[in-house]
């Protein structure tokens, strides 16, 4: 049985492991021709070999032209999945301008650059699909990681802007916003991740399943953890109560350190 993306040209950034690798596997299983991008060339090759795809190592910000060439001239689906996470806040820890700059560059500007390169072709032909791996942190927040929380809000805002601006011209946009996912990035979040994310963490494959279901239902916002919808409603309905609740979690985390 042919998959929903039979012969589609798909690019997945940050696909050497975790969510990106799961997306590459799922799209390949649906019949797509997949470009596997990662900064780690060996990991990109391993996943590409596994799925019968094309390895394209390097900076996710600058691969669209090479990916398009590798796919024979057309990118049908672009998954902006690569991301970075730095701990720290405004007044504590060794956080510096480099951490903020890297967070903006990878978590937001890489998406902007990719869209800039892809949109002319998509608008000319009237079709294209942009998938942004955001995070529930983009809808809510994350304790102990100001650059991550702030830039994931930015990634969501950019995905929303793309959708409202171009949906009538055939460009589909999806924002995936999971909470904890069992990846290397979750392991690197330390005690904050252990407290907030680990208890309900899911496997990367569950995120890929949620994306394909959301695509089939033509949904912008994809929530692999359904409870995030209720958290968003609580945040919007009573911001002060929500902030007080998050502050209690912050205090609990501080006491546990």
| Residue pLDDT tens, the chain, 257 long | 357 899 999 999 999 999 999 999 999 999 999 999 999 999 999 999 999 999 999 999 899 999 999 999 999 999 999 999 888 876 665 568 888 999 999 999 999 999 999 999 999 999 999 999 999 999 999 988 999 999 999 999 999 999 999 999 999 999 999 998 887 776 666 677 677 777 888 899 999 999 999 999 999 999 999 999 999 999 999 999 999 999 999 999 899 87
Check residue 1 and give its pLDDT: 39
What length does the chain have? 257
* Residue 55 in domain: yes
pTM for this model (two decimals)? 0.93
Q: Is 191 exposed, middle or buried (CB count within 10 Å of its CB: 0-12, 13-18, 19+)?
A: middle
Q: Do the domain assignments include residue 169?
A: yes
186 lies in some domain: yes
Inside any domain, residue 1: no
**Among 84, 69, 76, residue whose Cα is nearest residue 38:** 84
Judging by beta carbons within 10 Å of its beta carbon (0-12, 13-18, 19+), is residue 2 exposed, middle or buried? exposed
- Counting the structural domains of the chain, the total is 1
Q: Is residue 89 domain-resident?
A: yes
**Residue 82, domain CATH:** 3.40.50.720
Output the six-digit token pair for 27.
């799209």
Residue span of the structural domain in which 247 resides: 9-256
Q: Which two tokens stand for residue 227?
A: 């409870």
In a domain, 3, yes or no: no
């Amino acid at each position: 049985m042919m998959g929903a993306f039979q012969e589609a040209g798909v690019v997945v950034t940050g696909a050497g492991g975790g969510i990106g690798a799961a997306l590459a596997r799922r799209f390949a299983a649906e019949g797509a021709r997949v470009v596997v991008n990662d900064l780690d060339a060996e990991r990109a090759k391993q996943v590409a070999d596994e799925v019968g795809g094309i390895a394209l190592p390097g900076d996710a910000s600058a691969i669209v032209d090479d990916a398009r060439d590798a796919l024979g001239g057309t990118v049908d689906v672009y998954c902006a999945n690569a991301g970075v996470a730095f701990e720290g806040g405004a007044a504590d820890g060794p956080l510096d301008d480099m951490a903020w700059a890297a967070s903006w560059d990878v978590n937001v500007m890489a998406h902007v650059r990719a869209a800039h390169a892809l949109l002319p072709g998509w608008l000319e032909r009237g079709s294209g699909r942009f998938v942004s791996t955001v995070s529930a942190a983009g809808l809510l927040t994350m304790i102990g990681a100001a650059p991550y929380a702030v830039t994931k809000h930015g990634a969501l805002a950019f995905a929303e802007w793309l959708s409202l601006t171009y949906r009538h011209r055939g460009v589909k946009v999806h924002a995936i916003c999971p909470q904890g996912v069992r990846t290397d990035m979750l392991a690197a979040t330390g005690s904050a991740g252990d407290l907030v994310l680990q208890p309900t963490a899911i496997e990367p494959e569950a995120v890929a399943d949620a994306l394909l279901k959301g695509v089939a239902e033509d949904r912008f916002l994809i929530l692999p953890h359904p409870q995030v919808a209720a958290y968003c409603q609580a945040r919007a309905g009573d911001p002060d109560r929500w902030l007080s609740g998050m502050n209690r979690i912050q205090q609990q985390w501080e006491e546990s350190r």
